[in-house]
Amino acid sequence: MTPPRISSARVCALVLAVATVLLFWPSIRFGFLNWDDDQLLTQHPWYLPVTYKSLFAMWNPLSLWEGKALDYSPIRDLSYALDLWVWGWNPFGFHLTNVLLHAANGILVFLFLLNFCSFGAAWIGSMLWAWHPLAIEPVAWVSGRKDLLMACFVLIALHLAHRNRWFEAFGSGLAALLSKYTALPLGIIFLTPIGGNRSSARRTRTSLGLIVFGLAIVGFALAANRHRGEVIVAQKAEDFVHVWPAALQVVTHAVQSAVWPTALSARYVQHPELGWFNHSVAGGAALLVATMIALFYLLRKLPAAGKGLLFGALTFLPYLPIVPTNIWMADRYLYLSLVGGVWGWVALLDTAPGKVRRALLLSSVILAGLSAWQTRARLPVWKDSLSLWSDTVQRSPSLYYVWGNLGQAQLETGHTQEAIRSFERAYKLNSAFKEAWLFLGQAYVREGRKKVGIEALVRFETESPETMKTRRLRERAIAWAETGEKERAEKLFKEQLRNQPTDPVAWGNLGVLYVQSGRDGDALDAWNRAIRVRPDLPVARLNRGRYRFLHGECDGMKEDFRAFREMTGAERMEIQRLKNSCR
């Protein structure tokens, strides 16, 4: 017979998971964003298509050294490949995986808190964590997958550690590090009372093994970035002037967002603008001192609450030196650390006297409900790139790349005039942002100002470094094709395809260029190549459907149009007209 506590735990875990899935369910209708989703997934050659060679490259650390990967997160990359195998390029599947992972993490938080808190406190704490608005970014953003996976494996490792299953805990810890290197503190956590109360040689070996492995990953990542000329830590003496004041600002933001999320998704820290002292730095310093005092007191007087605070501090530690030197602060950095915050809170509730405890537990349930309401209200910000960056520029108007990303989103959705203003603002904020001229040229041409557009494109070609021009080969080709410079555009498309032979966007647009040049056979071949890699690619499906209509292939045309999901109103009317003509 199942003990009552275990049976109740299963029911509560199921209720928590279902409620969490329902809360975040609208995100499954969201699309891919122009913020890392393109570089990590939709335009990455590993997934165009997935092959045994690309699966090996995901696990090969030299991919990072050679610049074929932005970071070393093979577990995340493998999860993308599995999504692609199951769902194809439908964003629904990728978002569904994120939602289910977060729901599973909520259950793991509940089970973990049961080791330190009463049943009711653990359940309320897991609700506070799972429904908190800080979870929106990693759940609603496909590229936030590694934070979900890292948290999942860290929680599993801790669950196993409390059952003295150190071999399995070590394996889960390795998976956490291979999901995201910021799981590095897990090895330290195992040495603290958080990892259990029984000391043993196996526990020490597990901790030291994870620390060594984590340091190796971080060291290799730093060396690889330096090898590629990318600075991810402060390397000049004067840069360190700004690091710790900015770190204190990060502490302020972290506590503020955890207590009540008033500035989500775009509260960035920009260290060049910091002085030695301001109100945010003072607040961060005061919070840091207060945290140390509270931690010392709680570990002595209220060990369960102290452990929670210690867990939050240790898991947030990797971000303190990196956030300021990387310029930005993001909600996902607090995803795992928030477990420590709710843990400390509900552990304190357990120590309160009877009536006070019940009142505090009830208020915590109300707070969880308010958090869920705030989460549901804010979730639509992440539905597409235009919504995200429109919100972000209001919160971080001084960051040039925010305006640049907004401009790209506006350009993709046909808001040409707004895109021009965004790119001009981005360049005004940072004159080193030469890519603005590339996108400005494209926007000017689409607005009918062809001469000004060509001048902008020429300026990009003459002023930009070769590395930037190589990285933007496809975009340059599309921009020059829109100006009517067919030979130049074809040359750039072919150069892009030499570097990335399976690039479907390049093949699809090259097919359009061939049609304009009267080379129908070459165009059909280019669209076929694009569709073999990305069966739902709009530029290939729409144009091949048109080609088949002109050649009387009505069944083939209808097949192409069925696979073409994302379309404008004009395209929908054209498709309906062509279908009616084929009856």
Domain boundary among 476, 498, 520: 498
> Could you tell me how many residues make up the chain?
583
The answer to whether the beta carbons of residues 406 and 396 sit under 8 Å apart is no
Nearest to 125 by CA among 289, 458, 333, 368: 368
Dihedral sign (CA 335, 337, 343, 344): negative
Host domain of residue 462: 399-498
Structural domain includes residue 435:
yes
pLDDT exceeding 90 applies to what percent of the chain?
30
> Do 286 and 348 belong to one domain?
yes
Structural domain includes residue 266:
yes
> Do 541 and 490 belong to one domain?
no
What's the mean pLDDT in 313-332?
68
Whether the model clears a pTM of 0.85, i.e. scores above it, the answer is yes
Give the Cα separation of 290 and 270 in Å (integer): 25
How confident is the model over 17-61, as pLDDT tens digits?
A: 999 999 999 999 999 998 889 889 988 888 888 888 989 989 988
> Do 376 and 406 belong to one domain?
no
Q: What is the CATH number of the domain that holds 535?
A: 1.25.40.10
> Do 182 and 296 belong to one domain?
yes
Structural domain includes residue 91:
yes
Written as one string, the DSSP assignment of 182-246 is: GGTTHHHHHHSGGG-S---HHHHHHHHHHHHHHHHHHHHHHHHHHHTT---S--SGGGHHHHHHH
pLDDT reported for residue 363: 85
> Do 368 and 408 belong to one domain?
no
Structural domain includes residue 387:
no
Structural domain includes residue 67:
yes
> Do 123 and 230 belong to one domain?
yes
HSE (CB half, 13 Å, CA atoms) of 90? 13
How confident is the model over 350-385, as pLDDT tens digits?
A: 887 878 888 888 888 888 888 898 889 889 999 999
> Do 368 and 418 belong to one domain?
no
Structural domain includes residue 204:
yes
pLDDT confidence band for 118 (50 / 70 / 90) = confident
> Do 115 and 74 belong to one domain?
yes
> Do 185 and 292 belong to one domain?
yes
Q: Scan for tokens 């889960």, then name that residue.
A: 172
First-to-last CA distance in the chain?
A: 66
Span of 2-16, 32-46, 228-242, 244-258 with lowest mean pLDDT: 228-242
The 3-state secondary structure of 235-258 reads CCHHHHHHHHHHHHHHHHHHHHHH
pLDDT confidence band for 298 (50 / 70 / 90) = low
pLDDT reported for residue 148: 97
Structural domain includes residue 389:
no
How confident is the model over 168-224, as pLDDT tens digits?
A: 999 999 999 999 988 988 988 888 878 766 667 888 888 899 999 988 888 888 787
Domain boundary among 482, 498, 514: 498
What's the mean pLDDT in 63-71?
81
How confident is the model over 530-564, as pLDDT tens digits?
A: 888 888 888 888 888 888 888 888 888 888 777 76
> Do 197 and 342 belong to one domain?
yes
Give the Cα separation of 146 and 218 in Å (integer): 15
Give the Cα separation of 224 and 70 in Å (integer): 10
Q: Scan for tokens 């067919």, then name that residue.
A: 486
How confident is the model over 211-227, as pLDDT tens digits?
A: 999 888 888 887 877 76
| pLDDT above 50: residue 273 | no
Cα 7 to chain centroid, rounded: 36
Cα 548 to chain centroid, rounded: 39
The answer to whether the beta carbons of residues 202 and 166 sit under 8 Å apart is yes
Q: 3-state DSSP helix/strand/coil percent for the chain, to nearest 5?
A: 80, 0, 20
Structural domain includes residue 126:
yes
Helix residue ranges per DSSP H, 114-144: 119-130, 136-140
> Do 291 and 410 belong to one domain?
no
Span of 46-50, 255-259, 405-409, 451-455 with lowest mean pLDDT: 255-259
> Do 193 and 321 belong to one domain?
yes
| pLDDT above 90: residue 567 | no
How confident is the model over 422-481, as pLDDT tens digits?
A: 999 999 988 888 899 999 999 999 998 999 999 999 999 888 888 788 888 888 999 898
Helix residue ranges per DSSP H, 379-472: 385-395, 400-412, 416-429, 435-446, 450-463, 466-471
Q: Into how many domains does the chain fold?
A: 3
pLDDT reported for residue 232: 44
The answer to whether the beta carbons of residues 10 and 121 sit under 8 Å apart is no
Domain boundary among 455, 478, 498: 498
Dihedral sign (CA 554, 557, 562, 566): negative
